Amino acid sequence: MLKKIFGAAGEEVVIEEFLEGPEISIHAFSDGRNYKMFPPSQDHKKIGEGNTGPNTGGIGAITPLPFIDTQLLQEIQNKIVAPTLQAMSDEGRPFTGILYPGLILTKDGPKILEFNARFGDPEAQIYMRLLQTDLLDIIDAAIDGKLEEIKIKWRDAAACNIVLCSAGYPGSYEKGKEISGIENAKKEKDIIVFHAGTKTEGGNLVTNGGRVLGVSSLGKSLGESLGKAYRAADKISFEGKYYRRDIGKSALYFKN
């Protein structure tokens, strides 16, 4: 606060209850009257394996989640998503768009960490791998207040993404490192590589951000999807490339 490293955002301190447990991302399309849930997903925020070190914008995500059963999803819907949307409507500000509550699954049940009115990043990448209905049709239906009329189809598969970062991120990092191997990575089945912090310089693709690329994949199971994504991620090179090797690990070894 003294050094004003967060600018105006650092002028005020809010003291909140510490929420302990796994963090999950919930997304719902809303047209102001009706809403439709996405499958639940999980981002990985910490830079280090085993959820250690500073927070990032999110460096790897998975969906759906084996540790969320229908009953828990229903509870999240009934206690968090529906009342929030209803309250906004009751206050005369019906919400149209994507409501994205970040939740912590505490031992006392799901609790709200934050609300966003947008897609999560990198969650959007894995949702686009599963979404079979045209996103534009859903957006149009939401704007027209006709979400109830549209059937949103999700692929019956597991999706994941691994974010390749610049060394030093989320602290300071160097840019302009030449990237190679993307075409080779895409030879792995079901891989799409999303660009986040890249640019072309002198005809070459180079790093231009902390989160450089998102390597996403699909599989019949989470394990299959992660295996493909990691094989593809290994084929991409740039100086200082860093990524967590344990994305999805806790979900993979989750036992009921």
Residue closer to ligand GLY by CB (options 58, 197) is 58
Kindly state the smallest distance separating residue 121's Cβ from ligand GLY, in Å. 4
Query: Tokens 């149009």 sit at which residue?
Result: 140
CB of 123 to ligand GLY, least distance (A): 6
Contact footprint for ligand GLY (CB under 6 A): 43, 57-58, 116, 120-121, 123
Residue of closest CB approach to ligand GLY: 58
Show the tokens assigned to 67.
């540790």
Task: Name the residue nearer to ligand GLY (CB basis): 60 or 219.
Answer: 60
What is the rounded CA–CA span in Å between residue 3 and residue 145? 47
Q: CA 4 → CA 56, 126, 173, distances in Å?
A: 20, 36, 21
Nearer to ligand GLY, 214 or 219 (CB): 214
Residue 181 buriedness (CB in 10 A; 0-12 / 13-18 / 19+): middle
Helix ranges (H only) for 131-202 are 135-143, 182-185
Q: Identify which of residues 115 and 199 has a Cβ nearer to ligand GLY in the complex.
A: 115
Nearer to ligand GLY, 123 or 188 (CB): 123
Rg, C-alpha atoms of the chain: 19
Cβ–Cβ under 8 Å, residues 160 and 61: yes
Shortest CB 229 distance to ligand GLY, Å: 17
Least distance CB 242 / ligand GLY (angstroms) = 18
